[in-house]
Amino acid sequence: MNEESLYSLATKVLKTNDLGHSTKPAPRLYPHQWLWDSCFISIGLRHLDPQRAKSEIFSLLRGQWSNGMIPHEIFEEGAAYHAGSDRWRSDLVPGSPKDLHTTCMTQPPVIAEAVVRVGEFLTAKDRQAFYAQVLPALINYHEWLYRERDPQHTGLIALIHPWESGIEDTPYWSYLMHDVAPLRVKTLRIFGTEAVLDRWRPDLRHASREVRPSTTDFYTLYRLFTRVRAKQYAFDRVMRVRNIPVVQDVLFNSLLIRANHLLGRIAAEIGTTLPSALQDAMRKTPYAFETLYEDGHYWSRNYRTNELIMAPSAAGLLALYTGTISQDRADVLAKQVTSDEFWPAYGVASVPTSSPYFNPRRFWQGPVWINLNWLIADGLQRYGHEKIADDLRRQTLAMVGRGKGMYEYYSPLDGSPAGTHSFSWTAALVIDMIESTNST
């Protein structure tokens, strides 16, 4: 598929998934609004219609809780989804919005990046007005992250459910999930008969079993969710329950470091400063982040035991995106990006091929994801690895073009598409990558 057709297909997918005020990630499997999806979507939409890109962000802010949390999903009335609003019951939790149903936890903080990227496509006057409108909400969100998720002032944010990481089936989460699986899952696992649970999996109507999360992981995600809900999603109460993993997630904190930096930029452009307590908290994060480094890689940390979870995945490569790690360490990571393990035929594999968890077409366990490629390319470029960044973007576009649809993810071995089709962030970031490769 040539670039022009790819661009117009991507545009069509975004139109099809447009809900008016926001964009759903995919037509059927994901019918609501998701936090980091909408951020990536707005980065694509800015090329088509900057005002619509702005509204994608305003739409996210509708869901903000009075304590500052921006939830990971805002539910659309009546749309069927495997973990819908009736499971969450945000209406029973103090501080949730009155007129909307949302989830009660968050997702990676890409919103400051989205705001800045959309701002680049506005006139100076419009940009400043936009920044002034969204900055208080962004400050509240970052304050909530530090207040609620870093009560010990470690400098790193801890997550209470794999869904908050956005990459829930990545090996370090799967590793922790293994031990806390519900009893019936553990029993079925012993006999190798987990497949009997498949018929209760509504997601399998939209994508095949082989490419979706394993049944074991899936039911553990649900069970963990029930445990967190029983504690009203409150960090201090969750911490009292031993069988809920709590993780200082490397991807989340990488994105936070960059978001903090961009928050400062947004404030400076409109001639204001961030609250000093927030600045103090933010300053610590890049230093604390370095404690995640060992043996040439950045890892997530088990917050309960203080141990690094040394199960490799592309999440550790996101350290490149922070902009705060040293050039030496960035060079080490850039080498890993181009290694056969992370770039066997198509880069970047979400899990290296040498990992026992590697599965080229299974959800977050090996496939190439377009949002991770976008973030990694952005980081590589900041560290002077423009050539690798450019190769990665061009190869990503060629791979998506060959798949003839905007798929959720792709095999790093042969580039074949997997997951659901008409996936919005693939479409949006394809548009952005076409624009950026054409401007270099």
Q: Which of 14, 17, 33, 36 binds ligand 9WN (CB under 6 A)?
A: 36
Does 409 help bind ligand 9WN (rule: CB under 6 A)? no
Kindly tell me which of 30 and 131 has the beta carbon lying closer to ligand 9WN: 30
- Contact letters for ligand 9WN, residues 276-315 (x by CB under 6 A): ----------------------------------------
Please give the helix or strand (H or E) that residue 308 lies within, else none. strand 307-309
Task: Find the shortest distance in angstroms from Cβ 102 to ligand 9WN.
Answer: 12
Q: Which of 34, 146, 321, 409 binds ligand 9WN (CB under 6 A)?
A: 34
Kindly tell me which of 130 and 225 has the beta carbon lying closer to ligand 9WN: 225
Kindly tell me which of 37 and 56 has the beta carbon lying closer to ligand 9WN: 37
Q: Phi, psi (5° rounding) for residue 412?
A: -75, -10
Task: Find the shortest distance in angstroms from Cβ 229 to ligand 9WN.
Answer: 15
Which DSSP symbol is given to 108? Answer: -
Kindly tell me which of 122 and 228 has the beta carbon lying closer to ligand 9WN: 228
Q: Which of 121, 130, 163, 303 binds ligand 9WN (CB under 6 A)?
A: 163
Beta strands in 54-147 (DSSP E): 73-74
Q: Scanning the structure block, which residue is given the tokens 């208080």? A: 136
Does 150 help bind ligand 9WN (rule: CB under 6 A)? no
Q: Which of 7, 37, 57, 357 binds ligand 9WN (CB under 6 A)?
A: 37
Nearest Cα residue to 422 out of 62, 32, 25, 7: 25
Does 367 help bind ligand 9WN (rule: CB under 6 A)? no
Task: Find the shortest distance in angstroms from Cβ 290 to ligand 9WN.
Answer: 26
Distance set, CA 184 to CA 43, 180, 194, 200, 245 (Å): 43, 11, 9, 14, 19
Sign for the CA dihedral angle at 261, 266, 272, 276 comes to negative
Q: Which of 7, 23, 25, 258 binds ligand 9WN (CB under 6 A)?
A: 25
Both tokens assigned to 102 = 């949302």
CA distance 330 to 323: 9
Kindly tell me which of 7 and 163 has the beta carbon lying closer to ligand 9WN: 163
Residue 304 contacts by C-beta under 8 Å, 6 or more apart in sequence?
239, 242, 245, 246
Q: Phi, psi (5° rounding) for residue 368?
A: -80, 130
Q: Which range touches ligand 9WN (CB under 6 A), out of 32-40, 127-135, 244-252, 289-297?
A: 32-40
Q: Which of 148, 168, 194, 217 binds ligand 9WN (CB under 6 A)?
A: 168
Task: Find the shortest distance in angstroms from Cβ 363 to ligand 9WN.
Answer: 7
CA distance 343 to 353: 9
Q: Which range touches ligand 9WN (CB under 6 A), out of 163-171, 332-340, 352-360, 387-395?
A: 163-171
Nearest Cα residue to 297 out of 277, 314, 272: 314
Task: Find the shortest distance in angstroms from Cβ 25 to ligand 9WN.
Answer: 3
Does 30 help bind ligand 9WN (rule: CB under 6 A)? yes
Residue by residue, DSSP assigns 258-272 as HHHHHHHHHHHHTT-
Please give the helix or strand (H or E) that residue 309 lies within, else none. strand 307-309
Task: Find the shortest distance in angstroms from Cβ 377 to ligand 9WN.
Answer: 18
Q: Residue 380, CB half-sphere, CA atoms under 13 Å: how many?
A: 24
Residue 4 contacts by C-beta under 8 Å, 6 or more apart in sequence?
none
Task: Find the shortest distance in angstroms from Cβ 407 to ligand 9WN.
Answer: 12
Size of the site for ligand 9WN (CB under 6 A): 8
Residues of this chain that bind ligand 9WN (CB under 6 A): 25, 30, 34, 36-37, 163, 166, 168
